[in-house]
Amino acid sequence: MQSISVPRTNKGISIVTPFFNESGGIERFYDAIVSTIDAIPDLKFEVVCVDDGSVDDSLTRLIELTKRDRRFRVVELSRNFGKEAALTAAIDMARGDAVIPIDADLQDPPELIPKLLAEWQKGAEVVLAHRSDRTSDSFVKRMMAQLFYRFHNRVSSVNLPDNVGDCRLMDRVVVEALKRLPERLRFMKGLFSWVGFKTVAIDYARARRATGTTKFSGWKLWNFALEGITSFSTAPLKIWTYVGALGALVTLSYAAFIVIRTLIHGVDIPGYASLLVAVLFLGSLQLISVGLLGEYIGRIYLETKQRPIYLVRRCYGEPDES
Ligand code: UDP
Ligand code: MG
């Protein structure tokens, strides 16, 4: 076991942020981060910005930051790999004793950073930022999120803390543990929880997006939810054994009923409607279960290819080796 005297190696703290078409918010991001970290003079910081294949001038602006401030580094991915992959890249590149992922849109306010650090210095290995107030999100989004967490936590072996985003602090031991998880399809929230470690939470109110718009549409969120559930639960696969068994039981009792009725009352007029309903109902159930199998098999297929999670085109801003 590693002891938890802080700081461990004096490599400093890494703030890691994925950027996808965030050009309009970069100056604001810079100002907010710099004023926060300048106010913590006894710790060294680096800011790892990952450009996730932006098509606006985010990359140019980020590179400009590395020239202005040596604490900023930029990792340019070869295309848009999606937030989870970009975040993985950012965490892989971070060298600090603690790593803090934070969104580019400042929805998780940088003022959280000193609070996260305070808990870490008290000995926590993971400090979660818990959204006590989510009124900045729409009602429907909040409801869907709640539903998702409930369902997920019921069927999965890993418990996702409710209303906790990606903003958190992770100690180096946690980051190294995270790096050992080889999966290609990365549901980061789940992976963060799966590794465990000594965790504490602090509360904050989630702000509105400072500039730009969310990159997550309803359809993307639905797929994100599917990713979460299929990554950490096989319950949706297994449930069909029981649904099937129950169906068979009902069918058998109904068959017995028909046999007895025929013996007593003779041959009846065949029921076309009931037959059709039964056939259609069972047919749909079978299609759903086959579709679900498809969800899992598709993911097995993607995982077996062993493709890298992301590809880096170039890094900007020299790592300070002192
Ligand atoms: N993001 C990314 N790649 C993507 C989509 C989003 O790197 O394909 C980044 C985005 O720039 C932001 C963070 O992920 O820093 C969160 O995105 P967003 O604010 O759109 O998500 P929301 O807060 O609405 O869940
Ligand atoms: Mg956001």
SS (H, E, C) the chain: CCCCCCCCCCCCEEEEEEECCCHHHHHHHHHHHHHHHHCCCCCCEEEEEEECCCCCCHHHHHHHHHHHCCCEEEEEECCCCCHHHHHHHHHHHCCCCEEEECCCCCCCCCCHHHHHHHHHHCCCCEEEEEEEECCCCCHHHHHHHHHHHHHHHHHCCCCCCCCEEEEEEEEHHHHHHHHCCCCCCCCHHHHHHHHCCCEEEEEEECCCCCCCCCCCCHHHHHHHHHHHHHHHCCHHHHHHHHHHHHHHHHHHHHHHHHHHHHHHHCCCCCCHHHHHHHHHHHHHHHHHHHHHHHHHHHHHHHHHCCCCCCCEEEEECCCCCC
What residues contact 227, with CB distance under 8 A and at least 6 apart? 185, 187
Residue 216 in contact with ligand 1 by CB distance below 6 A? yes
- Residue percentage of the chain with pLDDT more than 70: 94
Residue that wins the pLDDT comparison between 210 and 85? 85
Asked if the model's pLDDT at residue 200 lies above 50, the reply is yes
**Residue 82 reports pLDDT greater than 50:** yes
Question: In the predicted model, is pLDDT for residue 2 greater than 60?
Answer: no
Question: Mean pLDDT of all residues in the chain?
Answer: 84
Task: Tell me the whole-structure pTM to 2 decimals.
Answer: 0.74
pLDDT for position 265: 83
Give the ligand 1 atom nearest the CA of 215: 20
Report the nearest atom of ligand 1 relative to the CA of 104: 15
- pLDDT over 90 (residue 162): no
108 Cβ below 6 A of ligand 1: no
Distance 156 CA to ligand 2 centre (A): 26
Structure tokens at 28: 């604001």
Nearest atom within ligand 1 for CA of residue 52: 7
Residues in the chain: 322
Going from the Cα of 145 to the center of ligand 2, the distance in angstroms, rounded, reads 14
Q: What is the pLDDT of residue 15?
A: 94
Task: Calculate mean pLDDT across residues 283-291.
Answer: 82
Nearest CA to ligand 1 atom 18: 214
C-alpha torsion sign, points 74, 77, 79, 82: negative
Q: Starting from the CA of residue 86, give the closest ligand.
A: 1
- Kindly state the average pLDDT of the residues 283-288: 81
Opening angle at CA 320, ends 171 and 192, nearest 5: 20
Q: Is the pLDDT of residue 244 over 60?
A: yes
Closest ligand to residue 109's CA: 2
pLDDT of residue 8: 54
Identify which of 62-66, 149-153, 207-211, 247-251 has the greatest average pLDDT.
62-66
Region 83-105: mean pLDDT is 92
Distance 135 CA to ligand 1 centre (A): 19
Predicted pLDDT at 1: 40
Nearest to 229 by CA among 313, 133, 155: 155
Tokens describing residue 214: 């969310």
Report CA(238)–ligand 1 centroid distance (Å). 33
Check whether 305 has a pLDDT greater than 70. Answer: yes
Model pLDDT, residue 10: 66
Number of the ligand closest to the Cα of 22:
1
Instruction: Report pLDDT for 61.
Output: 92
Q: Is residue 284 scored above 90 in pLDDT?
A: no
